[in-house]
Structure 1
């Protein structure tokens, strides 16, 4: 997110693209044949890129990954992401470089399901970032969040829904993760980290209701110190996923938080999966 909140960027490297209809329809369930570099640019102009590629387009090394024309590389202190993607259904290009400088890395991962098949590691909750895009022509700096997820089963088999929220604090960041599992159980994580990745205590926030999204009526909720929060902006409103910017209070500080709400019950609907290829084209390489 840029310092003034006017621009935002999400980048996800997928091996075994969890939201891919092609992966769901593949009887072999080969994750290496379903890779994508998902790039979403928020603000003006907006872009959505998620081209799925086969195993021939994937290269992996100890400190780098390349998927098609885009790549990520870690040099021991910084993560450099080189983007060269084309959006869909409108073929608008996103090309440029993002440099993330984590001041520290957190201790390790959290298990999200009851049997340990899904792990989430919020590696660097608050890091300086520099964004330099050539197409479209944009430059900004701000703070970024870096995490990684690993799963041994499909998300929709383990979870019914979740909400996730991350906010910068004066000395680091707060992250809230509320998971609702398919078996009816749940897990609530309320985490606080300083800028070097050390975990700190946080008072358990209170549940805060939010309005559903305008178009697809995705349910939204979060947590805050006083049980109140406001939606400042809805970045994405899709049949099963919403991404928003909230105003709330966490750790005793007024914050602007990036929030996501995911309904995997909706994602399981075959009609929803039939809609996805319009935004997620597939190429062999």
Structure 2
């Protein structure tokens, strides 16, 4: 990986009853890191993190500690960053977590097991030059979450993808929206990216549980209200051009995460949705706010 590059592995999981959720992202070249943004060396291996976010009914927990290259281990089957890591044995992805929240410290410790029934073909290019590649590896997989701190266990479904890039996201994109929804026979994934030059790309995808890609027409656009606190713009797609926000998980200056009630592939669905504004992210004032939530350790 060269200067300015990045790779991340992303797991998004939701409990069967929809009341609990989590996100795990393992970064080499942490794309949203203020330390990486201001580092003149632009060495991705010196900006690594395992970000963990727990979404509960009453409150959320955020672990976003960045670490340097001395904390990174990786081989063909495993990546470890400090005390946390991901390991793949050919059939199961095991994630071990031992992190601390910020700005108020509390421990998040335990394991997550994802068992993909199949792997999709990929990757997809998000830009014309192929500088940014996205691969939705396993859009619909059983997941088991077992945490000792906080004491928590649940099962549900998970989405797994990976992204690789050769340039900062904010250089080539102004914004994007993404969502994924479970279907009776798999999952639907919608990805709309807006390029910095004013163009864009829509990827409307449907996959069987075994990873087989199936045809789907891009659904029409559906408007969503902005978030309450930071007024983050939100939009999505649905069969009937209508969608409703069930819950807003995160409302930040440049990123929003929500649970939607919508309709895709002819089915009523609950969709996990995100909106990202890279125009807002590259504002220096926003980046100066991030260290309060994203501490750095050697």
Matching residue of 1:84: 98
Q: Please give the alpha-carbon distance, in whole angstroms, between the structure 1 residues aligned to 2:204 and 2:243.
A: 16
Asked if 1:98 is matched to 2:112, the reply is: yes
Q: Is the 8 A contact 1:122 1:146 kept in 2?
A: yes
Q: Give 2:25's aligned residue.
A: 12
Matched, 1:69 2:83: yes
**Displacement after TM superposition at 1:239 (Å):** 0.2
Q: How does 1:21-100 map to 2 (within 5 A)?
A: 21-43=34-56, 44-100=58-114
TM-score, normalised with respect to structure 2: 0.95
In 2, are the aligned partners of 1:18 and 1:155 still within 8 Å (CA)? yes
Deviations along 1:227-284, one digit per CA (max 9) or x if unpaired, are 0000000000000000000000000000000000000000010000000000000000
Tell me the secondary structure at the aligned position of residue 28 of structure 1: coil
- DSSP 3-state at the match of 1:214: coil
2:175 maps to 1:161: yes
Inter-partner Cα distance in structure 1 for 2:190 and 2:294: 28
Q: Is residue 45–residue 136 contact of structure 1 (8 Å, CA) maintained in 2?
A: no
Runs (5+) with no aligned partner, structure 2? 1-13
- Once the two structures are superposed, residues 199-238 of structure 1 have per-residue CA deviations (whole angstroms, 9 ceiling, x without a partner) of 0011321100000000000000000000000000000000
> Is the 8 Å Cα contact of residues 47 and 87 (structure 1) preserved in structure 2?
yes
**Structure 1 stretches (4+) deviating beyond 6 angstroms?**
none
What is the aligned partner in structure 2 of residue 140 from structure 1? 154
Structure 1 position 92, deviation (Å): 1.2
| Matched residue, 1:224 | 238
TM-score by length of 1: 0.99
CA positional deviation for 1:90: 1.1
In the TM superposition, what is the alpha-carbon distance from 1:100 to its structure 2 partner? 0.3
Structure 1 equivalent of residue 254 of structure 2: 240
Q: CA RMSD in A?
A: 0.6
User: In structure 1, what is the equivalent of residue 6 of structure 2?
Assistant: none
* Distance (Å, rounded) in 2 between the aligned partners of 1:203 and 1:67: 40
User: What is the match of residue 135 of structure 2?
Assistant: 121
Unaligned stretches of 5+ residues in structure 1? none
